[in-house]
Amino acid sequence: MGRRKLVVGNWKMNGLRAQLGEVEAIGGLARDHAAVEVGLCLPATLIAAADGVKGGAFIGAQDCHMKANGAHTGCLSAVMLAEAGASWTIVGHSERRQDQGETDADIAAKALAAKAAGLKVILCVGESLDVRDAGNAEAVVSAQLLASLPEGAASDWLAIAYEPIWAIGTGRIPTMEAVATMHAALRAALASRIGADADAMRILYGGSMNGDNAAELLAIADVDGGLIGGASLTAEKFAPVIAAAA
Ligand code: PEP
């Protein structure tokens, strides 16, 4: 099957020019581990400067607008992010679904706008703790994925990130069995929509992944990489995750 591992840092609302040295160091790690595709989704204010020091890593954005331009004060389009130097963007992160009220339909539209601008896309899905405790997380997250999946979804431009909301930034992670079950369910959901190409689509795990748990998580059959918040902010913390993926 040969899905190349994809390991992506999400810096969220963290990072000033003073942290460009970390971007450069992570770019060096990416060059040293070419078997792994490594990227950093940065605050938009850093993308252009980071593009010059990214080494073997790609630079991505964390969101984009669904329109290419227009009267949307404070928003950034995928075209603008691509011009600044981004080659990927996240869409549908749970923090945006919650804080900005983004719907599944918004997220599908954003993914299509990103593709039209030439960006690759990481589409995030994940359940709340209530859903996990109710015992139907696989059904809920599979439905969320299918509702957020853009027209023409294909493995050459789209990756999925499964991020249980209760695991993000908390230090808690699901059991390895729960991660394996969810990723298999999401691949089956993808297959129901896109057929055989589901086998090639990368499904990342995200939520408190770090140097201590990355090797075990990344060894799960359907886990094709990670989306990493806190543990991607410095090269020192990110290095063992990248090494585990390699
Ligand atoms: C994230 O926000 O995508 C994330 C996974 O964060 P953390 O690794 O800090 O839990």
Host domain of residue 86: 6-245
Asked whether the beta carbons of 122 and 88 are under 8 A apart, the reply is: yes
Count how many domains the chain has.
1
pTM beyond cutoff 0.95: yes
Give the bridge partners for 104, in sequence order. Answer: none
Q: Whose CA is nearest to atom 2 of ligand 1?
A: 229
- Which residue is catalytic, options 22, 33, 65, 93? 93
> Which CATH number goes with the domain that contains 137?
3.20.20.70
- Which residue is catalytic, options 37, 95, 102, 163? 163
Atom of ligand 1 nearest to the CA of 169: 10
**Residue 126, annotated as binding a ligand:** no
Report pLDDT for 100.
96
13 in any annotated domain? yes
User: Which of 163, 173, 237, when mutated, tests ligand 1's pocket best, judged by the most ligand atoms within 8 Å of its CB?
Assistant: 163
| Residue 227: count of CB within 10 angstroms of its CB | 27
Q: What is the pLDDT of residues 18-30, one digit of tens each?
A: 999 999 999 999 9
**Residue 157, annotated as binding a ligand:** no
155 in any annotated domain? yes
220 in any annotated domain? yes
- DSSP β-ladder status, 58-61 and 203-206: unpaired
Query: What are the C-alpha distances in Å from 206 to residues 1, 26, 181, 226?
Result: 22, 19, 15, 6
34 in any annotated domain? yes
Q: What is the pLDDT of residues 124-143, one digit of tens each?
A: 999 999 999 999 999 999 99
User: Which of 11, 228, 233, 241, when mutated, tests ligand 1's pocket best, judged by the most ligand atoms within 8 Å of its CB?
Assistant: 228
Q: What is the pLDDT of residues 191-237, one digit of tens each?
A: 999 999 999 999 999 999 999 999 999 999 999 999 999 999 999 99
Asked whether the beta carbons of 161 and 122 are under 8 A apart, the reply is: yes
What token pair was written down for 141? 């997250």
Which residues have CB under 6 Å of ligand 1? 10, 163, 168-169, 206-209, 227-231
User: Is residue 163 flagged as an active site residue?
Assistant: yes
116 in any annotated domain? yes
Per-residue confidence band for 1, with pLDDT thresholds at 50, 70 and 90: low
1 in any annotated domain? no
24 in any annotated domain? yes
